[in-house]
Amino acid sequence: MENWIIRRIKREDNQAVAKLIRSVFDEMEIPKVGTAYADPYLDLMYEEYNKPQCVYFVVESEGQIIGSAGIAPLENGDPKICELQKMYFLPQTRGLGIGSVMMEKCLKEARDFGFEKCYIETMPFMHAAQKLYKKSGFEYLDAPMGCTGHNSCPVWMLKDLQNEL
């Protein structure tokens, strides 16, 4: 896959992004309750991320949305901490380095917004994702932060964004 771009989400991407995220949940048999799958705004991602200190990106190739990820303030958490949210890619895009590029883009936006740390929640069996997070400087936590509502995600990680200024 050679012709792909990362861009900000548009309103007309909502349906494709929701379909992408749901398809990854189905493929990986991720629980649907207590995860991003159950988020009430999953079909309204453009609107949800069209707020202060929020951004959501999509990866597009030949008119198809093949990946996505975003940054938003950590719900009910320290205002200096953001969360990397809903980072999902279709199977054919994994292992090509697109996730690393997306990660850097999201973390740069987080720093530009003034966040000092970035939090993420994931599933224990998502080994490739955790490998990317560790490579990007995330470290494991013993307990969740904030109140994301994702109580089915038992792996929590945090990255200090100030060490890279």
Of residues 33 and 92, more confidence is placed in 92
Task: Indicate the pTM of the whole model.
Answer: 0.92
Q: pLDDT at position 34, please?
A: 80
User: Smallest Cα–Cα separation from 77: which of 22, 25, 141, 8?
Assistant: 141
Q: pLDDT at position 164, please?
A: 62
HEC-encoded secondary structure of 81-125: EEEEEEEEECHHHCCCCHHHHHHHHHHHHHHHCCCCEEEEEECCC
And the tokens for 74?
């950590």
Q: pLDDT at position 40, please?
A: 82
User: Per-residue pLDDT averaged across 39-61, rounded?
Assistant: 94
What is the torsional sign of CA 88, 90, 94, 100? Answer: negative
Q: pLDDT at position 59, please?
A: 97
Containing structural domain, residue 15: 5-164
- Residue type at 132 in one-letter notation: L
HEC-encoded secondary structure of 21-76: HHHHHHHHCCCCCCCHHHCCCCCCHHHHCCCCCCEEEEEEECCEEEEEEEEEECCC
Q: What is the pLDDT of residues 89-147, one digit of tens each?
A: 999 999 999 999 999 999 999 999 999 999 999 989 888 899 999 999 999 999 998 87
The single residue listed with the structure tokens 């999201």 is 106
Greatest mean pLDDT among 36-45, 53-62, 152-161 lies in 53-62
User: Per-residue pLDDT averaged across 73-78, rounded?
Assistant: 90
Report the percentage of the chain scoring pLDDT > 90: 73
| Total domain count, the chain | 1
Residues 6+ apart with CB under 8 A from 96: 1
Is residue 72's pLDDT more than 80?
A: yes
CATH assignment at residue 52: 3.40.630.30
